[in-house]
Amino acid sequence: MRLIRAKDYQDASRKVANIISAQVILKPDCVLGLATGSSPVGAYQQMIKWCDKGDVDFSQTKTVNLDEYVGLAADHDQSYAYFMRKNFFDGINIDQKNTNLPNGLELDAAKECARYDKVIADLGGVDLQLLGIGANGHIGFNEPAEQFSVGTNRVDLTASTIAANSRFFENESMVPRQAYTMGMMAIMQAKRIVMIATGANKAQAVYDAFCGPVTPQMPASILQLHPDFVLVADEEALSLVGDKL
């Protein structure tokens, strides 16, 4: 793995935006794997500015998102489909037909997981996958478990993830209890993976994931095995890592 040290969230966001933009410039019809949550928002805002100036062109780019809440329609204001439109897609010149997320309204999990895995396979897999990290080490919604997931799967969100994500909802009881998430196979098959981790509340997860053993109890630790994994992290997120990486 490679570590890129950033000063703070803004610095990390610009660095990640540069890496993603370089990918799109080198291969305009590339497949980007995208994430939601607070971590990637700064990078998305930066790329919207560069796209506006004509520096990056997303017109041929395709995207697959990591996850979606079960039970939320794409136009629900807490769905990840809505989040992506509001925070990124509506601000860039991407063809919305080239953007893909799991369908939270499909309640037949086997059918939806198979459909989404086929979407990813038909695109030829992911060129560059962007990840955040949960405070419990999850990537996508692949929560700590006895085994690593393989394909797209429907997961029960852990209490800590529900609590962490309740900040986006009126109250905790409104947070969906399940989500569809891309599995570890599609994530690990991405040609390059970039993770953005910032803030003190990610320090323990970053330390455990990248300075500890590879274990499904710390899902992000599997990234240690990826041949082209880049961690962009700020000083706070690296506070426990020190010089160990």
Check binding of 183 to ligand F6R (CB under 6 A).
Answer: no
Sole binder of ligand F6R in the list 24, 30, 35, 128 (CB under 6 A): 35
Angle, CA 217 vertex, CA 150 and CA 16 arms, to 5°: 70
Q: Which of 100, 136, 142, 165 is catalytic?
A: 136
CB of 53 to ligand F6R, least distance (A): 26
Check binding of 134 to ligand F6R (CB under 6 A).
Answer: yes
176 in Cβ contact with 70 (< 8 Å): yes
Check binding of 33 to ligand F6R (CB under 6 A).
Answer: no
User: How far is 39 from 48, CA to CA, in rounded Å?
Assistant: 16
Check binding of 31 to ligand F6R (CB under 6 A).
Answer: no
CB of 219 to ligand F6R, least distance (A): 9
Binding mask 65-84 for ligand F6R (x = CB under 6 A): -xx-----------------
CB of 144 to ligand F6R, least distance (A): 12
CB of 67 to ligand F6R, least distance (A): 5
Check binding of 219 to ligand F6R (CB under 6 A).
Answer: no
Catalytic annotation present for 170 = no
Which positions touch ligand F6R (CB under 6 A)? 35-39, 66-67, 132-134, 138-140
